[in-house]
Amino acid sequence: MSKKWSIAALVLYVVYAVGMYFYIFHGASGGVPATLKGTVADPQTFMTERELYLSDDYSKIRNFLFFVVTPFEWLVYFLILFMGISRVFEKWADTKWRLFKNGAYLFLLNLFTTIVFYPIDIYRYSLSKEYGISTQGFSSWMRDYVIDFWVNFGTTLLIVLVLYWLIQKSAKKWWLYAWLLTIPFAIFMMYLQPVVIDPLYNEFTPLKDKELEAKILSLADQADIPSDHVFEVDMSEKTNALNAYVTGIGGNSRIVLWDTTLNNLTDEEILFIMAHEMGHYVEKHIYIGIALYLLSMLVGLWLISKIMPWMVSKFGRVLNIEKVSDIRSLPLFLVLASFLLFISNPISNTVSRYQETRSDEYAMELTGDAEAAVSTFQNLAKAGLSEVNPPWLVKIFRYTHPPMLERINTIARYTDKNEVETEQQAE
């Protein structure tokens, strides 16, 4: 029976992957609307022919990988269950102390899946190098890869140990107790991220350009944002992409600029980016994000608490799971969590794109520099080889930010609106 289910899962995945291949490479095409041809939003006006070719090629490959890798993860976890590998890991990890048993099982599972996904990860790294996005050497990449493994294992270990202890203690209400613990844990991780985790990967230093720092802090003062320091991070050793962000909460909040951004953009463009990030602060997006995250966690854990016991009772023999509280059921939990996260992407991304649009509008209100805004978006698109107008399915599942075509149009609409208002006032 397990063999039949394994074959069926493989066939279903292959059919899905072939369908996505034709959709990405031969079907959907965003393109540029005829009305915007030749405008500042048209990539042909600010990208070279080679950049246009690389952008189209690179975007399609990345989009295809996104849509096939996550379902491949589900397939791997199901095969781990169908083929009895999960039961073997549980047997190898067996001790009289449940916490040690669950921890050892998680290590074996993480190690196994890391090995399985390593070829995909190395391909992604090579792809980024080939298209000129990554500048990171292999040894540096492997260092980050190992750090990723242990950071992810450490955080997952804490979650899994608590989760399965709760499932064992309260089979019906574990999801509620787990959610209640999620609240302080999420806030703690956000507080910890900028000062403990981020420095494991890169070196953060106070912004060296004090003149630019003064301009940024002056902008922050206009927006009533409490901030004393701006940090720069040495990302040029790893990438040619551009970025800036505000991270952390409370006393650990900080403004961070990638050195690639400092090296490739003008002060006016950097100030527009900073104004955009300040828009997130002013609009309370970080707190809205926390609230939505907690709400989604509540719904997700409740759904898992209903679906998982049903699947174990219905397909327990095929999945080699006797009861939900067995640690060997973890792959099933991970599949359900990943699936729910995947199908919720269109909702969370829609909210995120709305917030990004609001921040773009705020940045225009704060700086009033439409020229810097447009050139910033053009440079971001060039540096990241971004699609300015992706296919619909790609946009709703992948894009947390509006495509560059929409962002430039937002600036154009804002400028036109201001011009009309100015003319009306003059009359």
> Torsions phi, psi of 244, nearest 5?
-155, 150
In one-letter notation, the amino acid at residue 412 is A
Question: How many CA within 13 A on the CB side of residue 377?
Answer: 30
Question: In 3D, which of 134, 39, 127, 57 has the Cα closest to residue 378?
Answer: 39
Residue in the block written with tokens 């107008």: 389
Neighbours of 81 (CB within 10 A): 24
Kindly state the tokens that stand for 386: 């971004």
Could you list the active site residues?
A: 277
Q: Count the helix, strand and coil residues of the chain and give each as a percent rounded to the nearest 5.
A: 75, 5, 20
Element (H, E) at 257: strand 254-258
**Going by C-beta distance under 8 Å and a sequence separation of 6 or more, which residues neighbour residue 219?**
271, 274, 275, 278, 366, 367
Are the C-beta atoms of residues 135 and 237 closer than 8 Å to each other? yes
**Going by C-beta distance under 8 Å and a sequence separation of 6 or more, which residues neighbour residue 141?**
125, 134
246 - beta bridge partners?
255
Instruction: Count how many residues are written for the chain.
Output: 427
**Going by C-beta distance under 8 Å and a sequence separation of 6 or more, which residues neighbour residue 283?**
355, 358, 359, 362
The number of angstroms, rounded, from the C-alpha of 236 to the middle of its chain's C-alpha atoms is: 21
Edge-to-edge, what's the strand order for the sheet holding 254-258? Answer: 204-206, 230-233, 254-258, 244-247
Are the C-beta atoms of residues 334 and 80 closer than 8 Å to each other? no
Helices (H), 253-369: 259-264, 267-282, 285-319, 330-343, 345-367
Torsion of CA 313, 314, 318, 319, to 10 degrees: -50
Buried b (16+ CB within 10 A) or exposed e, 264-301: bbeeebbbbbbbbbbbbbbeebbeebbeeebeebbebb
Kindly state the tokens that stand for 368: 């009033």
